[in-house]
């Protein structure tokens, strides 16, 4: 059976890693949320009043971790997606969720029984903010650390319980399966990432650089792979909206006393609007 043009047009790239923002006129980008569900709800309410035909929404990762309202955050994300899709001409491709460092760790945590040193990995994840997500899905960190010492069978039981709790929470498993590595506009005027890119690698070869890369994209002296601008959702220095010629950083440390930020970009890459909650 031959695929329809609309179905083909709205499909992800063959790699399944990158989302294309077909037909976008403007793009709303939301920085790392870090489990701040109430502030996200306020941000969504404001975006709703400014939303226009042709707008797209890209979330830049780190929905879980650090903040205490992990489940409520994901529920709020799914609810706003339904609100966008319920608008005239709304399509699934109009809302994109990128994978952040927290979501990458969560995926790895659910397979922790295969790690050669699960206890060390788990302790590192906890230091990076993963404990709130573990608790959100009914996990006990002490049991996890004990399981890491008792061998793969006990570790598997612990991770399976977390997976079962996620599967039992409506919409959460499909949400985590839907996460993309990056999003780009048709004209390549904008590339949206979680944290970084390595300018020495192609877009397809970035791998973990999207989450753990140390290159500061604000220092780019030339466009990366022809993209007019890169927009990222976290900034370890947490200064808020920082704009440079070839990159924009939106991270302000929402779970660390900073603001939760959304910014609206024109299809030419210009920064049109920003909101804080």
- Domains in the chain with CATH codes: 17-100+179-276 (3.60.21.10), 104-167 (no CATH)
CA–CA separation, 256 and 226 (whole Å): 34
For the record, the structure tokens of 18 come out as 């990158």
Q: pLDDT, tens digit, for every residue of 146-195?
A: 999 999 999 999 999 999 999 999 999 999 999 999 999 999 999 999 99
The pLDDT of residue 236: 74
Residue 59's pLDDT band, with cuts at 50, 70 and 90, is very high
Report the alpha-carbon distance of residue 259 to residue 250 in Å, rounded: 10
pTM of the model: 0.92
Q: How confident is the model over 183-239, as pLDDT tens digits?
A: 999 999 999 999 999 999 999 999 999 999 988 999 999 999 999 999 999 987 778
Q: Helices (DSSP H) in 11-117: which residue ranges?
A: 37-50, 70-85, 101-109
């Amino acid at each position: 059976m031959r695929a329809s043009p609309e179905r083909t047009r709205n499909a992800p790239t063959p790699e399944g890693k990158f989302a294309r923002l077909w037909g976008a006129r403007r793009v709303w980008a939301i920085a790392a949320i870090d489990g701040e569900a109430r502030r996200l709800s306020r941000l969504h309410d404001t975006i709703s009043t400014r939303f226009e035909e042709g707008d797209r929404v890209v979330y830049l990762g780190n929905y879980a971790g650090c903040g205490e309202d992990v489940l409520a955050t994901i529920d709020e994300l799914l609810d706003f997606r339904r609100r966008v899709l319920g608008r005239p001409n709304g399509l699934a491709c109009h809302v994109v969720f990128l994978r952040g460092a927290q979501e990458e760790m969560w995926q790895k945590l659910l397979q922790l029984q295969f790690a050669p040193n699960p206890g060390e990995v788990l302790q590192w994840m906890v230091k990076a903010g993963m404990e709130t997500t573990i608790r959100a899905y009914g996990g006990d960190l002490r049991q996890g650390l004990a399981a890491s010492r008792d061998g793969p069978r006990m570790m598997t039981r612990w991770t399976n319980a977390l997976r079962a709790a996620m599967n039992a929470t409506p919409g959460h498993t499909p949400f985590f399966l839907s996460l993309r590595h990056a999003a780009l506009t048709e004209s390549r005027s904008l590339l949206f990432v979680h944290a970084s890119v390595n300018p020495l690698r192609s877009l397809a070869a970035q791998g973990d650089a999207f989450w753990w890369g140390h290159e500061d994209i604000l220092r780019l002296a030339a466009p990366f792979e022809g993209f007019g601008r890169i927009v990222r959702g976290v900034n370890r220095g947490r200064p808020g909206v920082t704009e440079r010629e070839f990159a924009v950083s939106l991270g302000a440390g929402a779970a660390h006393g900073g603001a939760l930020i959304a910014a609206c970009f024109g299809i030419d890459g210009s920064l049109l609007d920003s909101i804080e909650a």
